[in-house]
Amino acid sequence: MDFNAEIISVGSELLLGQILNTNAQFLSKELALLGINVYHHTAVGDNAYRMKNVIQNAQERANFIILTGGLGPTKDDVTKQTLAKLLQAELVYDKDALTKIMNYFKKANRTMTENNRKQALVIKGAHVLENKTGMAPGMVYVHNEIIYILLPGPPHELQPMFLNEVKPFLHKQGYLSHFIISRVLRFYGIGESQLESELEDLIENQTNPTIAPLATRGEVTIRLTARGKTEKEVNELLDKEEKKVLERTGRYFYGYDSTSLPLEVSKLLEQKNLRIASAESLTGGLFSQLLTKVSGAGSIFNGGIVSYTDEVKENILQVPRDILQRDGAVSSNCALKMAENVRDLLQADIGISFTGVAGPSKSENKEIGTVFIGLAFKKEPTVVYPLNLVGSRDTIRKSSANYGFYYLLKHLKKGE
C-alpha cells in the first residue's frame, strides 16, 4: 500500500515561535527512509475546534496522519480527545500506562493529581506505544483505511518512541513492504565538486542504492540509500556501493553518520592510550575548545598554550629567537618547534601546533590564508603541513583547526 503522509504538530508554542519544530524535521527524514511520502506539514495551536478542522483537511489528502503533542495532563492537551470525538471513538484507560504513572508519583513521594490520570487515556482498539522516557503513551489507530499515529511532543520522548515502537509495528503489520536504510559517509579535505567528479559515473548510473552528495560546514558527505525486502539485503547493497565509493575517495574518508573529526580523533587517542597537547597561534585555542567538547577529553588532552605573540612563543614555548627573526612566526620551522616543545613542556605523547595568517591583512609579508600545522609524535620525525586557505578570518581559523584534526586522524590511522 502506498502512503501519503501529513504531519500535524500541535502546540501554541510552535505558532508563537517559542520553540523550533524539530519533531516535523525528524519525522520527515524517518518517513522518507521508510518510503512514505510527506506532502504536508501543519502546525495548530491547543484549540479543539481548529485542531478538528486541521485533521479533517488532512483526511482529504493523506492516508497516514501523525499528530505530535497534546497528550499531557493539562487542560490544553486535547489531541486524543479531539481525534476520538471526530472519529466517534471511545477513550479508555490503558492499565499499564496508568500503573506506570501512579508508580512514578509514588516513587517520587509526590501526590498524584487527578489530571495526571488523563495521560493514560487511549483510543479504544488502538495499538498502544509504550513511552519509555516519559508518561503519556502514544498510539496507532486505523480508521477508514487511514492510519493515525499519536506521539508525545517532547523530542526526547517522540524520537525513541518512533524508532523503537512505531517502525517495528509498521513492519510487523505488513504496512511496509520494503526496508529503506541510509548510510552517511563523511569526508574532509576534498570539495563537493571534486568529490562529485570522482564519482560522476556512479552518480549518473545510480539506481539502488542512490548516491547523494552534500556539502556542509567545510566538509562533504555522501548519503547512500538502499531499498530491499530485508535488512540484510539492504546492508549488503550499501556495503557494495560503499566499497566502490571508497576505492576512489577513501583517502578523504573519516567516519559515518553523525560523527565528527574531533570525536574520531578522541576515540583513536583513547584506544591507543595517547595524550596530546596543543600550541595555537592563529586558531586562538579553537582546536582545544573543539577537542574538549568531546566527553572524556580529560583522558587524552593534557592542555594547550595560546601563543599569540612572538614573546610567548619565545619565552613560554621556547621557540628559538633566530627562527622567529629569520623565518618568522608564520613558518614551517616555527610550527615544528611549537609542536615539539608543547609536547615536551606539557608531558604529552603528541604535540600539535597552529600558526598562520587569518587576516584581515598580511603578516610578515605572507598572504592571508598561509597556515602551517605541526604534528610532533614521540620517537617519530615531526611533520609540518603547509596550507593556503581562502575565506573570511573566521573561516580560515575554523578550517585550520579542522585540518589539524584531519591530519592527526590520518597519522593515527597509519598502519591500521
Domains, the chain = 4-172 (3.40.980.10), 179-256 (3.30.70.2860), 261-412 (3.90.950.20)
Q: Give 144 or 1, the one with higher predicted confidence.
A: 144
Answer yes or no: is pLDDT of 80 > 90.
yes
Q: What is the pLDDT of residue 32?
A: 83
Q: What is the pLDDT of residue 111?
A: 87
Answer yes or no: is pLDDT of 44 > 90.
yes
Classify residue 67 by burial, with Cβ atoms within 10 Å: 0-12, 13-18, 19+: buried
406 confidence band (pLDDT: 50, 70, 90): very high
Torsion of CA 97, 99, 102, 103, to 10 degrees: -110
Q: What is the pLDDT of residue 1?
A: 67
pTM > 0.75: yes or no: no
Kindly state the average pLDDT of the residues 399-404: 96
Kindly state the average pLDDT of the residues 1-22: 92
State the average pLDDT for the chain: 94
Kindly state the average pLDDT of the residues 347-371: 95
Q: How far, in Å, are 215, 358, 397, 409 from residue 402 at the CA level?
A: 15, 14, 9, 10
Q: What is the pLDDT of residue 273?
A: 97
Cell of 344: 615536551
Phi and psi at residue 184, to the nearest 5°: -105, 125
Answer yes or no: is pLDDT of 35 > 90.
no
Nearest alpha carbon to residue 185 among 239, 223, 214: 223
Q: Give 154 or 177, the one with higher predicted confidence.
A: 154
Kindly state the average pLDDT of the residues 180-195: 90
- pLDDT tens figures, 199-218: 999 999 998 999 988 877 67
Q: What is the pLDDT of residue 347?
A: 97
- pLDDT tens figures, 295-319: 999 999 999 999 999 999 999 999 9
Find all residues with CB under 8 Å of 364, minimum gap 6, and list them: 328, 329, 330, 357
370 confidence band (pLDDT: 50, 70, 90): very high
Q: Give 35 or 163, the one with higher predicted confidence.
A: 163
- For the ranges 41-55, 109-123, 306-320, the lowest mean pLDDT is seen at 109-123
400 confidence band (pLDDT: 50, 70, 90): very high
- pLDDT tens figures, 250-297: 999 999 988 999 999 999 999 999 999 999 999 999 999 999 999 999
Polymer length of the chain: 416
Rg for the chain (alpha carbons), in Å? Answer: 28
